[in-house]
Structure 1
Amino acid sequence: MSAPSPESSSPESSSPESPSPGSRAELVNLLGDCVHCGFCLPTCPTYVLWGEEMDSPRGRIHLMDQHAKGEPLGGPMVEHFDRCLGCMACVTACPSGVQYDRLIEMTRAEVERGHSRPLRERAVRELIFRLFPYRRRLRALRGPLRAYQRSGLDRLVRRSGLLERVSPSLAAMERLAPPLGRAPRLPERVAARGDRRAAVGMLAGCVQGEFFPDVNAATARVLAMEGCDVVVPRGQGCCGALSMHAGREDEARAFARRTIEAFEGVDVVVVNSAGCGSSMKEYRALLAGDAAWARRAEALSERTRDVAEFLAELGPRAERRPLPVTVAYHDACHLSHAQRVRSQPRDLLAGIPELEVREIADPDVCCGSAGTYNLLQPDAAGELGDRKAANVAATGAELLVAANPGCTMQIAGALRRRGADIAIAHTVQVLDASLRGLGRNAFIERGS
């Protein structure tokens, strides 16, 4: 069965017992859960930055309510919605169980349907969404981008400020691009070492696959060393995370259907990118109104696991060798708040002999990456990145561990601005170094 194009839409069904998914009635129902207590305020990154009520979850919910009652989507209202990172820290903090994650996604879909953005902003958004979800396009960009970085032209362009004058978003894209090396290609199947304990599918991802291929290679190796047959389906594409979080619902649904098809033959889908895993676990909501896909979406959501979550469930078998390094662990928002995966990565790291984990101050405040946020809201993202980098540096750790490619790029850029010499790795890369006995030189002397 071929995947629908991103432009296609899905029929929605309604139920007499509850409002249909994504309907105005569902929105109004969810809005009524907020009692405006204010527990969300100190957890909201934009409220922490500016102290503005309308840039807090409580304030944005008030604006959503105003729009539901007939207030049109004007520029100022949309700006407050656009400034939200969608980090879900407020969901964790809320004592009333307000589903702000669902509210902001429905509101952003409404914005995309009913609000006309300025031409330059539309052009930037189209560039982002016609590039990053498509791995072949990212792959075509790798060669020229690598040559650009190796030539030193990147430093000249940044000093000139040329891109900043053309577009702050383009300048942010250029600054955030990680140093590119060779890109190893994973085979379609990696056999378990020793007795097989499980068979899993692995999401290769878009940005993860092309900008951080070593993370995927380490993921496959660790899973294999822990006794898993690993399948990396060639038919997979973007999971739809960026589109879903930006309110591009039809596009997200098309990506989701393709992902569901690619992984229907495996028992567990292992994901090493926090934003992707979070979105795949929410396919049940994204496709709930599609009679042909709802059950299949629910099944995939149930089978999806973050790699740290899955390894914790599986339990250790391979020998952990000493790795004498101090690490600061960063909680990616869509791992800690959206998926509630907090202890598992720390437990995996704690199981490595001679490795010391140090906690980062204000761990629940977003680093400013948030999918495409650091491209579309570069000033606010930069402030948040600088705060996070200062807290990372304050730990005195030699290595920062993060589990999301956006976080890695965002914090790496902020650390560079501080002149901080701290290597960055994914949780599975640290575990891989321990299982293979590579020692601290795998990260500290040559970087990561």
Structure 2
Amino acid sequence: MASEELRPLIDDCVHCGFCLPTCPTYVLWGEEMDSPRGRIHLMGQHVEGEPLGPPMVEHFDRCLGCMACVTACPSGVQYDRLIELTRAEVEREHPRTVKDRAIRELIFRLFPYPRRLHALRGPLRLYQRSGLDRLVRRTGVLERLSPTLAAMERLAPPLGPARRLPERVAARGGHRATVGMLTGCVQREFFPGVNAATARVLALEGCDVVIPRDQGCCGALSVHAGREEEGREFARRTIAAFEGVDVVVVNAAGCGSAMKEYRRLLADDPVWSGRAEAVGAKTRDLAEFLVELGPRAERHPLPVTVAYHDACHLSHAQGIRSQPRALLAQIPELTVREIADPDICCGSAGTYNLLQPEAAAELGDRKAANVSGTRAELLVAANPGCSMQIATALRRRGEEIAVAHTAEVLDASLRGLGRSAFRL
């Protein structure tokens, strides 16, 4: 472990406990070692020579990396950096079981690769449309085989036909900006309507939208799981794809958070460090960029009540809370209802709901109950993982709610589609 970097970061923690009520796993179980303060204590033990045994690693694995503790900490503890360094050390040093290694390889050989996800779409769509999915869930066969496989199957959203965006979408009206657009992995293949809506909104607001064909995974899933070198390689490819634009717009919270940290990820690479810093500096979340740009296109009335969900890597990691609400507030006749305990993670957290399905389900159920309590007609979220996680938890309650991205709500308003856009 990089003790020279970790020691001062660990020493920043004064053990005040302000992080405890914001930590999802501490809220669930009330265990000190499953709180940020407790995990920092374990990191200190490891720096002093304690080996990374299974009990210690389990507490690190149980962390969602939601960064709510970073927001709550009065001492400025960089827990995000601490857990990132620690997870990389775990992946380098800790011998996982054969079963755990196999599950992780399955996840990381599939989800960061849009073409592989695309190849899966056809069979998965047939599986859903045939009704076989309902039979599989009733029998519980996947649960007995692997909780991770069962979680993957439950979380998959209903799939419509695939959509392919052009490499360039022209601005409508006077040109205001040229922006690059990240299409992502899960977003691109499981939520193609979000990317289509994002491109239309940007174009209607006067932006030429460049969508590079050679883009792929941004590296977020790998970096957040401690797979540093894998994440760096994905980052290099993404940087190369977007160096020719002035702004990179991202519509998935986890991706935007990772891209803004490219400078730190590639700081020791003399060839890429400067390029990483340049791309990270011009990366903007969609809501962040649109608020900076200012509205121009006419907003048509959208008489719907929405519950807005704060994705952790948007609100905590990027500090973006007011901007999505400001965009929704621009839409006539739309009402936003706040969700109780907004800072507690829904349990998605990248691959967390696949690797820690039981804890994720508990958190998902809490979030679903709070969403249900708003009595809103539409759930709005800015991260594909959150959308899948909360929709799945609501189904467990026997409830259904329409789910949309902020881009889709804006798109419906700008195009005057009304409530029919969301099948309410």
Same-fold status (TM-score > 0.5):
yes
Structure 2 counterpart of 1:93, from 72, 91, 98: 72
Specify the SS of the correspondent of 2:203: helix
Q: How does 1:273-288 map to 2 (within 5 A)?
A: 273-288=252-267
Q: Any conservation in 2 of the 1:175–1:413 contact (CA below 8 Å)?
A: yes
Partner of 1:147: 126
Partner of 1:64: 43
Q: Which runs of 5+ in 1 are unaligned?
A: 1-21
Partner of 2:305: 326
CA shift digits 1:189-237 (9 cap, x unpaired): 0000011000000000000000000000000000000000000001111
Partner of 1:175: 154
Partner of 1:76: 55
Determine whether 1:240 maps to 2:240. no
Q: Any conservation in 2 of the 1:178–1:409 contact (CA below 8 Å)?
A: yes
Query: d(CA) in 1 for partners of 2:362 and 2:400?
Result: 20
Partner of 1:308: 287
| Structure 1 runs of 4+ with >3 Å offset | none
Q: Any conservation in 2 of the 1:329–1:357 contact (CA below 8 Å)?
A: yes
- Cα RMSD between the aligned structures? 0.6
Specify the SS of the correspondent of 2:336: strand
Structure 2 counterpart of 1:227, from 185, 206, 214: 206
Using the aligned pairs only, state the percent identity. Answer: 81
Structure 2 counterpart of 1:341, from 310, 314, 320: 320
Partner of 1:16: none
Structure 1 counterpart of 2:366, from 378, 387, 402: 387
Partner of 2:34: 55
Query: d(CA) in 2 for partners of 1:129 and 1:315?
Result: 38
Q: Any conservation in 1 of the 2:377–2:401 contact (CA below 8 Å)?
A: yes
Q: Any conservation in 2 of the 1:226–1:318 contact (CA below 8 Å)?
A: yes
CA shift digits 1:74-99 (9 cap, x unpaired): 00000000000000000000000000
Q: Any conservation in 2 of the 1:398–1:444 contact (CA below 8 Å)?
A: no
Query: d(CA) in 2 for partners of 1:150 and 1:133?
Result: 25
CA shift digits 1:337-357 (9 cap, x unpaired): 000000000000000000000
Number of residues paired by the alignment?
424
Structure 1 counterpart of 2:272, from 281, 293, 296: 293
TM-score (norm 1): 0.94
Specify the SS of the correspondent of 1:393: helix
Determine whether 1:163 maps to 2:142. yes
Query: d(CA) in 2 for partners of 1:373 and 1:197?
Result: 39
Q: CA deviation at 1:444?
A: 3.6
Specify the SS of the correspondent of 1:66: helix
Query: d(CA) in 2 for partners of 1:33 and 1:271?
Result: 32
Partner of 1:107: 86
TM-score (norm 2): 0.99
Query: d(CA) in 2 for partners of 1:126 and 1:99?
Result: 29
- Residue 248 of structure 1 aligns to which amino acid in structure 2? R
Q: Which runs of 5+ in 2 are unaligned?
A: none
Partner of 1:5: none
Query: d(CA) in 2 for partners of 1:309 and 1:202?
Result: 14
Partner of 2:237: 258
- Residue 161 of structure 2 aligns to which amino acid in structure 1? R
Q: CA deviation at 1:420?
A: 1.6
Structure 2 counterpart of 1:268, from 216, 231, 247: 247
Q: Any conservation in 2 of the 1:399–1:444 contact (CA below 8 Å)?
A: no
